[in-house]
Structure 1
Amino acid sequence: MARADASRRPGRLGVGVVGAGRVGAVLGAALRSAGHAVVGVSAVSEASRERAESLLPGVPVLEVPDVIERAELVLLAVPDDALPTLVEGLAQLGAWQAGQLVVHTSGRYGTSVLGPARAAGAIPLAIHPAMTFTGLSLDLGRLPDSMFGITAPAAVLPIAQALVVEMGAEPVVIEEESRALYHAALAHASNHLVTLAAQSSQLLSDIGVQHPDRLLGPLMKASLENALSAGEGALTGPVARGDAGTVRAHRAALESHDAPDTRQAYLGMARATALRALERGILSPAQGQAILAVLADTPADGPPGGPDAPRP
């Protein structure tokens, strides 16, 4: 392991970044800004090499074993599915070093995936940034508004917390056995929001709306802000009003339109919304039954509305 540069402040580390993707390059730059020295980075693709050059100028691009050999703190920023094989392969090469901090950024895993490194005497930490990355310098400005899900053995948990704080973010402790559910919650909120926006934009484009983003933007932003501040008390729309006729009209329109993935998503989310609204008393039992009947796999017959259907 490379010796710490005496010119650096006490407690500063030599950091090796394995994976100059959107996350690795940005977090490497954040640690560098906190006073740590990035001693090497691995970058395979042309895009990752350009990202390393932009965010980590002057840092040598090295093979993975060479990065690890130089580093006091190894930052593993690789895809979730690649992480176990990488850690085990490096253990077989004898690359891990006693006392070395090994940090991964996967949301799915805690520290058990770093078992082969820990067996060699390394110190395992999991720090997952709960934010999306562009891989550009603007991400550094977003870190102070973000939180990291961290997992580590109790004795070294303060190290994981300190690293996150140094990068300007806020740590939240996630237990090892809860990592998959934690990550599912974030993916559901973030990734599926993108899908919902894309599906709604496509429907609007299909009916001739020129700038669907301008139509959806204020609505989605306000809905998100209201949901985060007021929870399900912010719920509006036909399901929350018990407007079964309108929901029936939505279903009929989607079934006549060539967008099966959007139809399935709408029906699934509307069912989930109706059930949660029922549980919380937003809908009466009669209203909930009427909405769920419209959303059933084989909906009850009837026109999309009628003289007794609730109105907006």
Structure 2
Amino acid sequence: MTSAEASRRPGRLGVGIVGAGKVGAVLGAALRSAGHAVVGVSAVSEASRERAENLLPGVPVLEVPDIIERAELVLLAVPDDALPTLVEGLAQLNAWQAGQLVVHTSGRHGTAVLGPARAAGAIPLAIHPAMTFTGLSLDLGRLPDSMFGITAPSAVLPIAQALVVEMGGEPVVIEEESRALYHAALAHASNHLVTIAAQSAQLLADLGVQHPDRMLGPLMKASLENALSSGEGALTGPVARGDAETVRAHRAALEAHDAPDTRQAYLGMARATALRALERGVLTQAQAEAILAALADARGTGGPPGPPDRASGPPS
């Protein structure tokens, strides 16, 4: 569909973007491609102004109250912790309008955080894309493969679903009380993957490997693809094999190397892997106990948790 055809469709809205960060600018561009008119964007830093210019050319950069005044749909794309203060501050300015759609992109929050806007008659929607953003146009091509976690009052849930579909994504309803756990799951998968990759690359670089990314890339990509297709049945390595002496050698090498954050991450993830492998029958009780003993901290910061009783399940 061309932009001209989209603009003639019914239900097109004037959209205001508060926050031209990596998420806000991309979603604003996606809504614009669906035929909505972006009437204004807030951009404070030089990077956000450049992002707005590249992804939302011709859209005026405005102050936040001016955006709220002009927009039929306000997209709040600000950090999670900044969202409550922003919503309440705009309510104190009497900025929110009755019938106005107010959408935030926070993973952590549902619609309760939009209470001050709702009290003024606005319609609250939480729409969170379950993907990582670069803030570049290539992100627009990733939206069709993405799911969005949405939360909204039942009467207006179809609006949130329609907006996601227009942006090319797939909406998945997340209950209000489940938003924090939902967000924790995504952060654990995405953010910690980046940390693990960076830590492993640093260890290899410390050993003199010239291109750690080339060594890790095929391994990590294959591991991720296998994990997503086969679940924990794809698990390999010394923990899954019960190779306690190899795990002990890993721990000793990490203790001798000046990378305490990597050491703690390895120990924590190896313990979690051993406990899950025991629970799923990959390891025997004896193998799990040997792995956990090998992971015991020789520096005295606390030993590993005891392996769970197979009948009672893992510790909470």
After TM superposition, the structure 1 = structure 2 runs for residues 54-133 of structure 1, keeping only pairs within 5 Å, are: 54-133=54-133
| Structure 1 CA distance for aligned equivalents of residues 25 and 8 of structure 2 | 21
| Structure 1 CA distance for aligned equivalents of residues 238 and 83 of structure 2 | 44
* TM-score, length-scaled by structure 1: 0.93
Match of 1:145 in 2: 145
Match of 1:34 in 2: 34
- CA offset at residue 8 of structure 1? 4.1
Q: Is 1:259 the equivalent of 2:259?
A: yes
Task: Kindly report structure 1 stretches of 4+ aligned residues shifted beyond 4 Å.
Answer: none
Match of 2:294 in 1: 294
- CA offset at residue 298 of structure 1? 4.1
> What is the SS of the residue equivalent to 1:103?
strand
Match of 1:308 in 2: none
Q: For the structure 1 residues 36 and 166, does the alpha-carbon distance in structure 2 shift closer, same or farther, using more than 3 Å as the test?
A: same
After TM superposition, the structure 1 = structure 2 runs for residues 128-207 of structure 1, keeping only pairs within 5 Å, are: 128-207=128-207
| Structure 1 CA distance for aligned equivalents of residues 274 and 89 of structure 2 | 48
Q: Which amino acid aligns with 1:114?
A: L
* TM-score, length-scaled by structure 2: 0.92
| Structure 2 CA distance for aligned equivalents of residues 103 and 233 of structure 1 | 39
- CA offset at residue 284 of structure 1? 0.7
TM-superposition CA deviations, 1:107-144 (whole Å, max 9, x none): 00000000000000000000001111111111000100
| Structure 1 CA distance for aligned equivalents of residues 103 and 46 of structure 2 | 25
Q: Which amino acid aligns with 2:192?
A: H
> What is the SS of the residue equivalent to 2:102?
strand
> What is the SS of the residue equivalent to 2:257?
coil
Q: Any gaps of 5 or more consecutive residues in structure 2?
A: 1-6, 301-316
Q: Which amino acid aligns with 1:197?
A: A
- Contact 1:105-1:128 within 8 A present in 2 as well: yes
- Contact 1:21-1:135 within 8 A present in 2 as well: yes
| Structure 2 CA distance for aligned equivalents of residues 182 and 52 of structure 1 | 29
- CA offset at residue 296 of structure 1? 2.0
The two structures, once aligned, show a CA RMSD in angstroms of: 1.1
- Contact 1:293-1:299 within 8 A present in 2 as well: no
Q: Which amino acid aligns with 1:145?
A: D
Count of residue pairs the alignment pairs up: 294
- CA offset at residue 295 of structure 1? 1.1
| Structure 1 CA distance for aligned equivalents of residues 298 and 275 of structure 2 | 18
- When structure 1 is superposed on structure 2, of 270-279 and 129-138 the one drifting more is 129-138
> What is the SS of the residue equivalent to 1:131?
coil
- CA offset at residue 297 of structure 1? 3.0
> What is the SS of the residue equivalent to 2:236?
coil
| Structure 2 CA distance for aligned equivalents of residues 165 and 113 of structure 1 | 24
Match of 1:220 in 2: 220
